[in-house]
Chain A
């Protein structure tokens, strides 16, 4: 363990005592928290000597004396909407904000609620699932989340329940030098179907370290969208773990636009025969921003399929990391696994790091991966200019074409359109309105 780790850990230990002192929770949950803290202590604060954190500069974050946030008021008018009926839960600084939330009628036995409240009313539905999924064991911030989460969302759909209305989970943070640990637990029992949009955003210099746990029963279908638009000085160090049973389908869209350092570790375990997942990630980064996806897809059973498409658009001195592992266990025959990483550099100082990896222990599988990094195609630029389109607009068009390939996979139209205009605004390219 590195020398600086204990120094940094001490405040977390002290804060843990204060944090847990007034919490009234089932013993099982209190135990999970202690285990999380112990795991963080043994993992230590990540250093660049660790392979998994080699490219992440956490020095600036380590300098901040991260406090538990105070309550904050947020003007409802500033929060994003989806322009369609949703089950909406809003959390401000990690705490449930009922006034900014709106729940609609749910099918029998289904539950969409704040995790804290659900723990009081339905502990028997939460305890079997919380912190039970494998993965993220080496992720120090996921461990901190387990120790320090205050609240979050619980989405539970019983067997064969189809939630037609999308679930919109909004995590807003306001403040400086604070750390927030939102938690999401989603349980789809056999044959259940849900569409979920998770949005992370805020104002100030803070750490957001969310953890999402997504459990899909046999034949369940999930469309999950995670939109990261944190404030530009913020740190986002999150984790998503997914376990899929037989014939379930997970479509995961991860969009990363904000933050100075934004990383999501995503681990998917295909734990039933014929389970399939589509992982679609997009990073847009500018200036000194860094966007990072660490992905592990674990094929544990036969006939599973996984398709990954991770893209980044980098301007200024921005950097991106894609670290993607496909691991096929010996038993997982007839696996079909694909992984694609494409990076578009808009400046010579931008840098994309790609680390695609395959570990295949079965002999009858189809696996493929590819990674490309490059600048805009000069032939395409010339083609557009030769038709009268000014150079700046031609570049805009091509950048959007590259990113829209990712965004167009999002089926939720209002979300897709909002992201497209957010992308345009962030690129500060202006002229992408209808020509």
Chain B
């Protein structure tokens, strides 16, 4: 069960959920060609420093897909970063200033769960300013 436990801040603007198979990030050399479209260099470095890099890549991809579902229009995946801490279920995402500005977002949090049955699951929540 996913429970959003991060500090509630502002008005909930949107949410999105995604699940991906971890092994898609372990056994897909062809897909690595496209990773520069998805992950930043810093994210890739972070993931490759993890004991199981595929977990970090999969969780980050889930968050990017989830954010895509939470936003009204598409965005470039490199404008959203997750530096997975495997010991924390709820984490803030690093979002580019242009995304925050364009969509009136102040904060984006993610609830990351897994691995379960070989998959990672992420629920992403976007928040705007506090109600006046």
Q: Are chains A and B native binding partners rather than an unrelated pairing?
A: no
